[in-house]
Amino acid sequence: MAELKYTEDHEWVAVDGDVVSIGITGYAQEALGDLVFVELPEVGKKVGKGDDFAVVESVKTAAEVYSPVAGEVVEVNVAMADDLELIKKPANENGWIARIKIEDPSELEGLMDESKYKEFTDGLD
């Protein structure tokens, strides 16, 4: 079972060796409202720490999805383009948007664990 970490931009990051799967949290989904489109990156795309690599669109707005780590996109969830409901699923049930091969695992250290993230979102309301 991959370890789950969270960002302040409401991505979850499932760590599995040097590859991370990234999705958006329930909090983000709630804030965006009805989702209508996801723009996936190309496999092979290089991303820097903090760069956006995908866009999730709701009826009202477009929200960038950021990578908390530098690396290269090694896999995208093409099934999600046809079935947006997948975005609500956890990492191990195809809820991830893309997988990124990381360059520097120490970049993961600043991320929140589940209880920290819960504290963080509780403080936002």
Partner 1 sequence: MLKTTPLHDAHKGLSAKMGAFAGYDMPLYYKEGVIAEHEWVRSHTGLFDVSHMGQVIIEGPGAAEFLERLTPSSFQKKKHGRAQYTVLTNEQGGIIDDLIITRLSEDKFFAVINAGCKEKDIEWIQKNLPDDLKFTHMYDYALLALQGAWAERILHETFQINAHDLPYMHLMEAEALYGSKIFVSRLGYTGEDGFELSIPVSKAVDAWDALMDHPEVKPVGLAARDSLRLEMGYPLYGHDIDSETSPVEADLSWIIGKTNTGFMGAERVLREKEQGTARKRVGVKLLDRGIAREGAEIRGSDDKKIGGLTSGGFSPVLKESIGQGYIESSLANMGEKIFVNVRGRNIPAEVTAMPFVPAKTKSMKKRAA
Per CB under 8 A, residues contacting partner 1 are 33-34, 36-37, 39, 55, 57-60, 62, 81
CA 11 to chain centre: 4
Closest to partner 1 by CB, 39 or 51:
39
Alpha-helical regions (H) of 33-92: 78-82
Phi, psi (rounded to 5 degrees) for 99: -115, 135
Residue 114 three-state SS: helix
Which pair of structure tokens corresponds to residue 27? 């909090």
Give least dist CB 81 to partner 1, A.
7
Phi, psi (rounded to 5 degrees) for 94: 70, 30
Closest to partner 1 by CB, 39 or 72:
39
Closest to partner 1 by CB, 61 or 92:
61
Give least dist CB 46 to partner 1, A.
16
Closest to partner 1 by CB, 9 or 39:
39
Give least dist CB 61 to partner 1, A.
8
User: What is the torsional sign of CA 105, 123, 37, 82?
Assistant: positive
Give least dist CB 37 to partner 1, A.
5
